[in-house]
């Protein structure tokens, strides 16, 4: 069993967290339900073409606002009903999984890659490099995400790419700060000090010693933020800056159906349910990861 | 734990006890609107479109009935007449009208207001045409104004009336000269039946009644408040709670409100939803008349009207055809003019024109005030055109971005649309002049020398029949050349509270005639 | 300590300075506000006149320095749309946003508090999981949807609470709850883990050994320490609330800063866009600064970490 570290989050070897001893000591059972939900939606996203009963963009104005099949006026042709242009809701939710999950994952990967890199560099070199990078980080962190996305949407028009870019461009700062904080304390550890004295290059230290020890934090943050990105996309759709029609994305589907919450409730309900399940699953998974890897990461 | 529960209980009780303010003894009118267009209260410098609250604060030179017809009772002018050559228009003013500051309204105020309205900094809708037309303004007596024009014309009284924009509003010369434009914009002073009280930008505008007004006697409502509530569910919730008396609602939710017993005042054919292509047409498939016709035949207007517009719309067949003017011009829509829904013929026409394999076309998608279905509508149109082989690409933007592309002509061949407010014949001429006259440059969407010629003659005409002939020809040509894709006439619903009573909402664009509602005459 | 505070203050100012450039460029990139202000019939000459009158025809660099120079004296120019000093607009709207954020914070604490404590005390049990799920629920639904459902049901149908605008204490409830619910999860996690830590300390063990009644042990001794942590991080959540309020403000017709930013961006009103973003950034920076200082005060290791 590795020695109890004196600094939160830092362990001499990466990923020891899944040993049985660790689990027994502070973890709970694997969050089976969350993993299952995520698994199902990932599969749906990957095999959308095969699973979808219809073309998600096929309009049929006369069939608009058809209710789901269990309603008196519902039909098996549209199991979950149709939206304001008569498009099949089940098809759109299925294809929407691909769009929304891709947006979430892509954004978070971009942000964490860039932010993590910045944090590592800043923490390792310190001094002026650190000062400059941290000022940039501070400036970025205080810019409201939604406003940036709105400005982009108004300037170059809303698009999938713009949503990903707008969010990632602000999100990286969070990763940078957290990683840097970790690196700063890691740098004080004996084995790293020794490595530097022994003449190891910056690259070697960063990739072989620092990065693995920050992976825990990154994994937790990434998991927790995927849900956040999906929710932000929904808010952006509401304001007109989200993933634009006719692309089926859960967020814009909810926004489109918002005037009919009590009449054509299904239009917003099913994509809303999808978002709820997916984001809940990611959040609970992230919580579990954090509790298992290190509960002291409570500021995440 | 007990402390915690105590805190929560205390907060809950404050909430429920100090509830929303109940209906007062004094009658108050509250109107909830989805947009204010601008919040500058200066009718000339504000970039205005809507006049809901302006018409209550200011008087017009020429009044109108709720149906938009000039009225000698509704404006400061009790009568007006042109000279023999139609170049001098004399207006006789009502006596004893006072501004909210107490000063009397004189011809000096009328002259000064008009000069300001057509001046360089004016942002009113028709400042340009009026500026080119008006040569001089004379004030031979405190109760008489004479407007001298460069060319003989009929349009002066209508352009200065309530039925169009705000150029006819009479503002207090002394007050503005003494305090400046900025102060006036923040504390406007007029001579209308309601006085400005307060404005919280982004929230509301509050007006209070004067004691008695020549237009409406003693106003029935002590205060009138206009609230800005962009989200529809919220507006409807306010209506249900009795916190607002009037709210604009979308067509989709009319059925639900009618079921609950809320009176819906429907403005029939309040606007025409019409689409057009950004010029120039050279090098574009739409240069060929058959392509334009095909795109029109591919649209099932009836289905659109019933579905997207919830049945609260009627098919339209004349591009930019403002139907309220048809009666004035003697224009009749013949059966041949009514586009059938014929995608087969559309495909044939495309093939004839050499586009059997289709072509690509961009369609901008945006919401507009009064058109919450904007994006859904654009998507539906692309659906129709895709069925005949046109590869349409939907470009979501907001209206200002589209407008820039339209004026700059950066994306020729792309389609845009607007819900153009319906209006009488003079207003119609003004609109057609903006959008179908090549000398209007940026906003022109037609570029047709024949139509140019006809429009140039109209401005100089003083014989209404001759104008009718010219405008009928303009409409016929717009239709025969398919200079656009007219879609539907929109009926606009306004929901009222169950206790509001009788209200003639009128047919004047961007005006509710709330003063009529508050009238005790 | 003083050195630390000063150093952090300078850092925040530098960050803000960087932002002024970014914001200036972005605001101008949004397009031409004159398109919206001038009517369709405006001629080229009208555009030129308006541009000159509003100072939009000067070179960008000159406009930037003029902007920064005046901003330092508190003058952010006039709103192109409202023709009023931007500072006035912000002065009218900022307090509304702050009040709403404060209410939302309180609501969030009130909701997170029992959840966090119960979860910590019953750690590892089904109750713990249930509390976690309830808390995370707030982050798993789009804010605007929650807002609209609440308005439709609570305000419209049941008519228990007001739907829009600022009109007395009751009108804070729905928007405040909607806004606050989003951060309940974070707060609850903080409370829970703070309490878990404290539950392990010698202090509490000693109290138990001495035989102090369990309930008093739980609530009195642990609470105080947990609260310190919560308060330090409350600051971060406050700035989240201020910056994400735009959706709630739109749905509830709340005249706040977020809504002002939205209107400014859609009407390309650069002076307002610049001022609002900088104001928001300044608030966030100020809050971060305070939180960092507070945290450094409590944990001296941090002062020297750079």
Which pLDDT tens digit goes with each residue over B394-415? 999 888 889 888 988 889 999 9
Cross-chain Cβ contact A227/C139 below 8 Å? yes
Q: Are B295 and B385 contacting, i.e. CB atoms less than 8 angstroms apart?
A: yes
Of B303, B394, B398, the CB nearest to A246: B394
What secondary structure letter does DSSP report for B318? S
Q: Going by DSSP bridges, is the β-strand pair B77-82/B88-93 parallel, antiparallel, or unpaired?
A: antiparallel
- Is it the case that residue A13 has pLDDT exceeding 50? no
- Res. C225 pLDDT band, cuts 50 70 90: low
- Is it the case that residue A297 has pLDDT exceeding 60? no
pLDDT of residue A26: 45
**CA A266, A268, A270 angle in degrees (round to 5)?**
65
Q: Which of B231, B396, B402, B495 to mutate to test the interface with A (most CBs of A within 10 A)?
A: B396
Of C168, C215, C253, the CB nearest to B228: C253
pLDDT of residue A2: 33
- Provide the 3-class DSSP secondary structure of residue B362: strand
For residue A149, the surrounding DSSP H or E stretch is: helix A145-156
Cross-chain Cβ contact A259/B256 below 8 Å? no
Percent of chain C residues past pLDDT 90, beyond the cut: 4
* Chain A interface includes B234 (CB < 8 A): no
Give the burial class of A197: count Cβ atoms within 10 A of its Cβ; 0-12 exposed, 13-18 middle, 19 or more buried. Answer: exposed
Mean pLDDT check: name the lowest of A231-240, B168-177, C47-56, C274-283.
C47-56
Of B16, B230, B398, the CB nearest to C253: B230
Q: Going by DSSP bridges, is the β-strand pair B28-33/B246-248 parallel, antiparallel, or unpaired?
A: parallel
How far is residue B225's CA from residue C253's CA, in Å, rounded to a whole number? 15
Q: Report chain A residues whose CB lies below 8 A from the CB of C277.
A: 143-144, 147
pLDDT of residue B172: 94
Which of A231-245, B34-48, C38-52 is modeled with the greatest confidence? A231-245
Cross-chain Cβ contact C280/A147 below 8 Å? yes
Which of A208-217, B204-213, B506-515 is modeled with the greatest confidence? B204-213
Task: Kindly report the nearest CA distance between residue B143 and chain C, in angstroms.
Answer: 32
How far is residue C240's CA from residue C254's CA, in Å, rounded to a whole number? 17
* Chain A interface includes B302 (CB < 8 A): no
Find chains touching chain B: ≥3 CB pairs under 8 Å: A, C
Cross-chain Cβ contact B252/A256 below 8 Å? no
Q: Are C8 and C16 contacting, i.e. CB atoms less than 8 angstroms apart?
A: no
* Chain B interface includes A7 (CB < 8 A): no
- Is it the case that residue A19 has pLDDT exceeding 70? no
* Chain C interface includes B410 (CB < 8 A): no
Predicted TM-score (pTM) of the model is 0.86
* Chain B interface includes A85 (CB < 8 A): yes
- Tens of pLDDT, residue by residue over B180-233, are 988 898 899 999 999 999 998 888 999 999 988 988 888 889 999 999 999 999
- Res. C295 pLDDT band, cuts 50 70 90: low
Q: Report chain A residues whose CB lies below 8 A from the CB of B382.
A: 246
Cross-chain Cβ contact B200/C92 below 8 Å? yes
- Res. B249 pLDDT band, cuts 50 70 90: very high
* Chain A interface includes C27 (CB < 8 A): yes
* Chain A interface includes C112 (CB < 8 A): no
Query: Distance of CA B236 to CAs B204, B233, C43, C153, C176, Å?
Result: 17, 5, 41, 11, 20
Q: Residue ranges of the alpha helices (H) in B134-172? A: 156-159
- Is it the case that residue C161 has pLDDT exceeding 80? yes
Strand partners, C281: none
Task: Kindly report the nearest CA distance between residue A153 and chain B, in angstroms.
Answer: 8
- Res. B1 pLDDT band, cuts 50 70 90: low
Which residue bears the tokens 């509602």? B517
* Chain C interface includes A147 (CB < 8 A): yes
Task: Kindly report the nearest CA distance between residue B54 and chain C, in angstroms.
Answer: 16
For B239, name the nearest residue in chain C, comparing CA atoms only: C156
* Chain C interface includes B334 (CB < 8 A): no
Q: Which of C132, C136, C140 to mutate to test the interface with A (most CBs of A within 10 A)?
A: C140
How far is residue A248's CA from residue A269's CA, in Å, rounded to a whole number? 15
- Res. B25 pLDDT band, cuts 50 70 90: very low
How far is residue B374's CA from residue B397's CA, in Å, rounded to a whole number? 11
Cross-chain Cβ contact C133/A126 below 8 Å? no
- Tens of pLDDT, residue by residue over A36-80, are 999 999 999 999 888 888 888 888 888 889 999 888 888 888 889
Average pLDDT over residues A5-13: 35
Of B232, B395, B398, the CB nearest to A240: B398
Cross-chain Cβ contact B125/C39 below 8 Å? yes
- ipTM of predicted complex: 0.82
Tokens read off for B367? 């919401």
Cross-chain Cβ contact B47/C171 below 8 Å? no
How far is residue B190's CA from residue B185's CA, in Å, rounded to a whole number? 11
Q: Report chain B residues whose CB lies below 8 A from the CB of A244.
A: 365, 394, 396
pLDDT of residue A134: 86
- Is it the case that residue A1 has pLDDT exceeding 60? no
Percent of chain C residues past pLDDT 70, beyond the cut: 80
Computed over every residue of chain B, the mean pLDDT equals 88
How far is residue B14's CA from residue B22's CA, in Å, rounded to a whole number? 16
pLDDT of residue C192: 79
Tell me which of C208 and C121 has the higher pLDDT. Answer: C121
* Chain C interface includes A228 (CB < 8 A): yes
pLDDT of residue C227: 58
- Is it the case that residue A12 has pLDDT exceeding 70? no
* Chain C interface includes A43 (CB < 8 A): no
Establish, for the pair of chains B and C, how many residue pairs have beta carbons separated by less than 8 Å.
Answer: 158
Residue C59 main-chain phi, psi, to 5 deg = -60, 150
How far is residue A12's CA from residue A1's CA, in Å, rounded to a whole number? 11
For B300, name the nearest residue in chain A, comparing CA atoms only: A61
Cβ neighbours for B488, distance < 8 A, ≥ 6 positions apart: B272, B273, B301, B304, B305, B309, B313, B314, B315, B316
- Tens of pLDDT, residue by residue over B426-447, are 778 878 888 888 877 778 888 8
- Res. C213 pLDDT band, cuts 50 70 90: low
Find chains touching chain C: ≥3 CB pairs under 8 Å: A, B
For A251, name the nearest residue in chain C, comparing CA atoms only: C142
Average pLDDT over residues B327-350: 91
Of A62, A84, A261, the CB nearest to B303: A62
- Tens of pLDDT, residue by residue over C141-150, are 899 999 999 9
Evaluate the omega torsion of the peptide bond into residue A18 and state whether it is cis, within 30 degrees of 0.
no
Tokens read off for B355? 């586009």
Task: Kindly report the nearest CA distance between residue C253 and chain A, in angstroms.
Answer: 14
- Provide the 3-class DSSP secondary structure of residue B267: strand
pLDDT of residue C112: 86
Which of B180-184, B247-251, C106-110, C205-209 is modeled with the greatest confidence? B247-251
Average pLDDT over residues A223-229: 90
* Chain A interface includes B376 (CB < 8 A): yes
Average pLDDT over residues B342-366: 92
For residue B31, the surrounding DSSP H or E stretch is: strand B28-33
Residue B158 main-chain phi, psi, to 5 deg = -70, -40
How far is residue B439's CA from residue B446's CA, in Å, rounded to a whole number? 11
Computed over every residue of chain A, the mean pLDDT equals 83
Percent of chain B residues past pLDDT 90, beyond the cut: 51
Task: Kindly report the nearest CA distance between residue B377 and chain C, in angstroms.
Answer: 21
Mean pLDDT check: name the lowest of A14-18, B174-178, B180-184.
A14-18
Q: Which of C32, C33, C41 to mutate to test the interface with B (most CBs of B within 10 A)?
A: C41
- Touching C: B residues 25-84, CB under 8 Å: 32, 38-40, 42, 45-47
- Tens of pLDDT, residue by residue over B291-337, are 999 999 999 999 999 999 999 999 999 999 999 889 888 899 999 99
Cross-chain Cβ contact C27/A151 below 8 Å? yes
Cross-chain Cβ contact A61/B308 below 8 Å? yes
- Is it the case that residue B516 has pLDDT exceeding 90? no
- Is it the case that residue A216 has pLDDT exceeding 50? yes
- Touching B: A residues 169-228, CB under 8 Å: none
Q: Are B88 and B146 contacting, i.e. CB atoms less than 8 angstroms apart?
A: yes
- Res. C211 pLDDT band, cuts 50 70 90: low
Which residue bears the tokens 């004047």? B508
Q: Report chain B residues whose CB lies below 8 A from the CB of A56.
A: none
- Tens of pLDDT, residue by residue over B371-385, are 999 999 999 999 999
- Tens of pLDDT, residue by residue over A163-207, are 999 999 999 998 998 888 888 878 878 777 887 788 778 788 778
Q: Which of A129, A147, A294 to mutate to test the interface with C (most CBs of C within 10 A)?
A: A147
Q: Which of A142, A173, A178 is nearest to C284 (CA)?
A: A142
Task: Kindly report the nearest CA distance between residue C154 and chain A, in angstroms.
Answer: 12
Q: Which of C127, C145, C153 to mutate to test the interface with A (most CBs of A within 10 A)?
A: C145
Average pLDDT over residues B80-99: 91
What secondary structure letter does DSSP report for A68? P
Cross-chain Cβ contact B234/C251 below 8 Å? yes
- Is it the case that residue A114 has pLDDT exceeding 90? yes
How far is residue C245's CA from residue C143's CA, in Å, rounded to a whole number? 10
pLDDT of residue C155: 85
């Amino acid at each position: 069993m590795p020695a109890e570290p004196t600094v939160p989050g830092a362990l001499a070897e990466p990923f020891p967290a899944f040993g049985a001893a660790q689990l027994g000591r502070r973890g709970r059972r694997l969050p089976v339900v969350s993993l299952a939900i995520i698994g199902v939606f990932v599969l749906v996203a990957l095999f959308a073409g095969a699973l979808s009963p219809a073309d998600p963009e096929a309009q049929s104005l006369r069939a608009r606002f058809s209710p789901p099949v269990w309603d008196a006026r519902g039909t098996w042709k549209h199991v979950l009903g149709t939206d304001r242009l008569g498009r099949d809701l089940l098809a759109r939710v299925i294809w929407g999984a691909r769009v929304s999950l891709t947006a979430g994952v892509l954004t978070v990967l971009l942000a964490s890659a860039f932010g993590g890199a910045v944090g590592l560099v800043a923490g390792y070199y310190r001094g002026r490099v650190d000062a400059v990078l941290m000022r940039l980080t501070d400036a970025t962190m205080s810019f409201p995400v939604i406003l940036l996305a709105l400005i982009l949407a108004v300037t170059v028009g809303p698009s999938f790419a713009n949503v990903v870019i707008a969010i990632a461009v602000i999100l990286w700062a969070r990763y940078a700060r957290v990683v840097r904080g970790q690196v700063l304390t890691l740098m004080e550890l004996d084995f790293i000090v020794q490595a530097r004295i022994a003449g190891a290059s910056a690259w070697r230290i960063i990739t072989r010693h620092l990065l693995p020890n920050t992976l825990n934090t990154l994994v937790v943050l990434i998991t927790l933020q995927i849900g956040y990105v999906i929710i932000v996309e929904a808010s952006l759709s509401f304001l007109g800056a989200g993933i634009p029609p006719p692309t089926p994305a859960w967020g814009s589907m909810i926004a489109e159906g918002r005037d009919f919450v009590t009449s054509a409730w299904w239009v917003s309900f099913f994509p809303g349910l999808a978002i709820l399940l997916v984001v809940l699953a990611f959040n609970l998974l992230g919580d579990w990861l954090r509790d298992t890897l290190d509960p002291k990461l409570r500021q995440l | 734990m007990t402390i915690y529960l105590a805190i929560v209980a205390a907060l809950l009780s404050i909430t429920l006890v100090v509830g929303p303010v109940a209906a007062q003894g004094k009658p108050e009118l509250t109107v909830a609107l989805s947009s204010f267009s601008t919040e500058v209260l200066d009718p000339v410098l504000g970039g205005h479109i809507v006049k809901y609250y302006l018409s209550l604060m200011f008087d017009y030179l020429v009044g109108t009935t709720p149906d938009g017809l000039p009225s000698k009772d509704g404006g400061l002018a009790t009568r007006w007449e042109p000279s023999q050559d139609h170049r001098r228009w004399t207006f006789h003013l009502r006596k004893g009208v006072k501004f909210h500051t107490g000063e009397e309204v004189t011809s000096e105020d009328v002259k000064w207001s008009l000069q300001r309205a057509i001046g360089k900094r004016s942002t009113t809708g028709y400042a340009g045409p009026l500026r080119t037309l008006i040569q001089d303004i004379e004030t031979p007596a405190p109760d008489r104004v004479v407007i001298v024009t460069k060319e003989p014309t009929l349009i002066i009284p209508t352009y200065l009336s309530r039925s169009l924009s705000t150029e006819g509003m009479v503002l207090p010369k002394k007050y503005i000269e003494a305090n400046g434009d900025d102060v006036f914009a923040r504390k406007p002073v007029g001579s209308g039946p309601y006085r400005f009280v307060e404005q919280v930008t982004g929230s509301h505008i509050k007006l209070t009644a004067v004691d008695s007004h020549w237009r409406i006697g003693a106003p029935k409502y002590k205060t009138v408040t206009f609230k800005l509530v962009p989200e529809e569910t919220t507006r409807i919730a306010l209506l249900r709670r009795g916190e607002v008396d009037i709210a604009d609602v979308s067509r989709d939710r009319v059925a639900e409100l009618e079921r609950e017993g809320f009176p819906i005042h429907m403005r029939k054919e309040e606007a025409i939803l019409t689409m057009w292509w950004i010029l120039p047409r050279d090098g574009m498939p739409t240069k060929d008349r058959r392509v334009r016709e095909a795109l029109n035949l591919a649209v099932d207007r009836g289905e659109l009207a019933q579905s997207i517009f919830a049945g609260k719309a009627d098919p339209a067949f004349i591009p930019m055809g403002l139907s309220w003017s048809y009666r004035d011009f003697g224009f009749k829509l013949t059966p041949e003019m009514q586009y059938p829904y014929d995608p087969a013929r559309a495909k044939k026409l495309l093939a004839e024109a050499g586009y059997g394999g289709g072509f690509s076309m961009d369609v901008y998608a945006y919401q507009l005030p009064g058109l919450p279905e904007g994006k859904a509508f654009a998507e539906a149109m692309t659906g129709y055109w895709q069925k005949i082989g046109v590869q349409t690409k939907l470009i979501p933007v907001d209206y200002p971005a589209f407008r820039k592309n339209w004026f700059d002509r950066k994306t020729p061949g792309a389609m845009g649309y607007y819900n153009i407010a319906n209006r009488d014949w003079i207003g119609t001429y003004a609109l057609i002049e903006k959008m179908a006259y090549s000398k209007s440059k940026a906003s022109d969407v037609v570029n047709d020398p024949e139509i140019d010629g006809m429009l140039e003659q109209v401005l100089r005409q003083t014989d209404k029949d001759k104008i009718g002939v010219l405008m009928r020809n303009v409409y016929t040509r717009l239709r025969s050349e398919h200079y656009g894709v007219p879609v539907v006439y929109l009926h606009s619903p306004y929901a009222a509270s169950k206790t509001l009573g009788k209200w003639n909402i009128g047919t004047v664009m961007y005006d509710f005639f709330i003063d009529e509602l508050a009238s005790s005459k | 300590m003083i050195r630390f505070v000063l150093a952090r203050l300078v850092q925040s100012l530098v960050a803000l300075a960087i932002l002024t450039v970014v914001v200036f460029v972005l605001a101008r990139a949004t397009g031409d506000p004159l398109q919206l202000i001038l009517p369709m019939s405006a001629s080229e000459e009208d555009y030129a006149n308006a541009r000159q009158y509003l100072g939009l025809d000067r070179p960008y660099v000159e406009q930037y320095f003029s902007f920064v120079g005046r901003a330092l004296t508190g003058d952010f120019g006039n709103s192109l749309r409202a023709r009023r000093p931007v500072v006035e607009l912000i002065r009218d709207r900022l307090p509304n946003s702050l009040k709403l954020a404060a209410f939302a914070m309180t609501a969030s604490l009130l909701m997170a508090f029992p959840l966090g404590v119960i979860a910590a005390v019953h750690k590892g049990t089904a109750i713990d999981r249930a509390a976690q799920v309830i808390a995370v629920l707030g982050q798993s639904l789009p804010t605007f949807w929650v807002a609209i459902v609440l308005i439709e049901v609570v305000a419209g149908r049941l008519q228990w609470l007001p739907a829009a605008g600022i009109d007395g204490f009751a009108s804070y409830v729905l928007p405040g709850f909607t806004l606050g619910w989003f951060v309940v999860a974070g707060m609850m996690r903080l409370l829970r883990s703070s309490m878990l830590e404290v539950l392990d300390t010698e202090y509490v063990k000693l109290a138990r050994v001495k035989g102090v009644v369990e309930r008093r042990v739980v609530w009195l001794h642990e609470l105080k320490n947990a609260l310190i942590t919560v308060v330090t991080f409350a600051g971060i959540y406050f700035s989240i609330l201020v910056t994400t309020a735009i959706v709630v403000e739109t749905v509830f017709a709340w005249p706040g800063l977020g809504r002002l930013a939205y209107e400014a961006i859609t009407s390309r009103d650069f002076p307002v866009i610049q001022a609002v973003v900088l104001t928001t950034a300044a608030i966030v920076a100020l809050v971060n600064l305070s939180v960092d200082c507070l945290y450094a005060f409590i944990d001296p290791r941090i002062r020297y970490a750079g």
